[in-house]
Amino acid sequence: MTELLIVSKPRGRIFKWIGGGVYKEYKDLISKSISDRVDDLLVSGSEYVEQRIDDGIWESHTTPDKQNLAVEKIRIWLKRYGSPSGSIRVELWNGDKTTKIADIGSKDVSEISTTGAEYDFVPSSTIQLDPNTTYQIKVWHDGTYDSSNYIAGRYFTDTEKYDIDLYLKFFIQGAELEVTLDFIYSGTAIKRLQESVSKTNVTIKDVEVNGQSVGTSLEKEDDIPQADNYTVIYVYDVDADSYSLSISIQRYLYYNKTSITLDDLDVSEAYLQEIKYGSDGGILRIDDDPDSDLTGSANETIQFTDILIPFRKLEWISGGGEVLILGVE
């Protein structure tokens, strides 16, 4: 009688487990940049005559065809004669002088020089300006004055329109630079983003990732929504005639899981084959036994080629890295 014995050979599988807080770059950088110039509305000349302020002098300015402009300040030349009282007020009006838009600032007349000087009037809150729009700036004396006691401005006689010696200085507020990118990944890691920023004369006020603010910078340590596509918006201000802003964003996979078991691997047996420690080194513990800790330095690799190291559980006590595992079903 012949007996037939059928033996089932177990199947082995190789796993790579990355854990302990390891970041891995994913795909290429995505970059976006912007640069521009916004000149102040400045008038100048070499010949001028003085003009009493009294109940008002006006100067018109037309804004450039640019978005997100705001009034930083009005600068005007003023001179005091005698001892007038009250204050000089500066206001922003619409182009045909029918509607006052905002108060820009005021200054007590006692602060104005008797030899003449330039003075800045700075708004206490943001005054936004529309692009390619004509505005009127009104300067007037709110107080008492007469022919011997008054405040004078001046206008240039060698300019085409006899411009008042007054100029409007802009700044850009709340402008946005938008970077879009896809992040298609379906593994166990968490998606993270890391910025690289180069800027000149730019102040970043906020960074939004898919509508969620992460502060004024975007770091790979920041929690972000998990999505297949991202819109990153940089909100910025500019206080200069010219500026530039360049953003590059690197996608990262963040492996934050610190332990793994046979159940996680869905195998009956598992053996260590190789450990690649990360940039901070680390300690890998086997089966919750401190005596079995495997300690490695930064970027060190330990291979187990001549001996099988079985385990039921691996845990990164500190640091992290990549572990090559042989699993038996």
* Nearest Cα residue to 19 out of 189, 220, 255, 252: 255
100-108/87-94 β-pairing? antiparallel
Distance, in Å, from the CA atom of 25 to the CA atom of 249, rounded to the nearest integer, reads: 11
The mean-pLDDT minimum among 55-69, 180-194, 207-221 falls in 55-69
In this prediction, residues 52-57 reach a mean pLDDT of 92
User: What is the CATH architecture of 48-164?
Assistant: Sandwich (2.60)
**Is 25-37+174-253's fold the same as 48-164's?**
yes
Please write the tens of the pLDDT for every residue from 32-41: 999 998 877 6
- Cα–chain-centroid distance for residue 173? 13
Distance, in Å, from the CA atom of 257 to the CA atom of 251, rounded to the nearest integer, reads: 19
Q: What is the pLDDT of residue 47?
A: 76
Please write the tens of the pLDDT for every residue from 281-329: 999 999 999 999 999 999 999 999 888 899 999 999 999 999 999 999 8
In this prediction, residues 2-22 reach a mean pLDDT of 70
Please write the tens of the pLDDT for every residue from 247-289: 999 999 999 999 999 999 999 999 999 999 998 999 999 999 9
Q: Where are the domains of the chain?
A: 25-37+174-253, 48-164, 258-328
Q: Please report, rounded to a whole number, the percentage of residues in the chain having pLDDT higher than 70.
A: 93
* Nearest Cα residue to 135 out of 91, 78, 88: 91
Q: Is the CATH code 2.60.120 the one for domain 25-37+174-253?
A: yes
Distance, in Å, from the CA atom of 66 to the CA atom of 190, rounded to the nearest integer, reads: 40
Q: What is the pLDDT of residue 174?
A: 93
Distance, in Å, from the CA atom of 114 to the CA atom of 133, rounded to the nearest integer, reads: 35
The mean-pLDDT minimum among 42-51, 53-62, 146-155, 188-197 falls in 42-51
In this prediction, residues 135-159 reach a mean pLDDT of 89
Q: What is the pLDDT of residue 162?
A: 47
For residues 63 and 129, is the Cβ–Cβ distance under 8 A? yes
* Nearest Cα residue to 37 out of 74, 69, 71: 69
Distance, in Å, from the CA atom of 199 to the CA atom of 244, rounded to the nearest integer, reads: 6
Please write the tens of the pLDDT for every residue from 151-196: 998 887 765 544 567 788 888 999 999 999 999 998 889 999 999 9
Entry pTM: 0.78
Q: What is the pLDDT of residue 154?
A: 86
Q: What is the pLDDT of residue 6?
A: 45
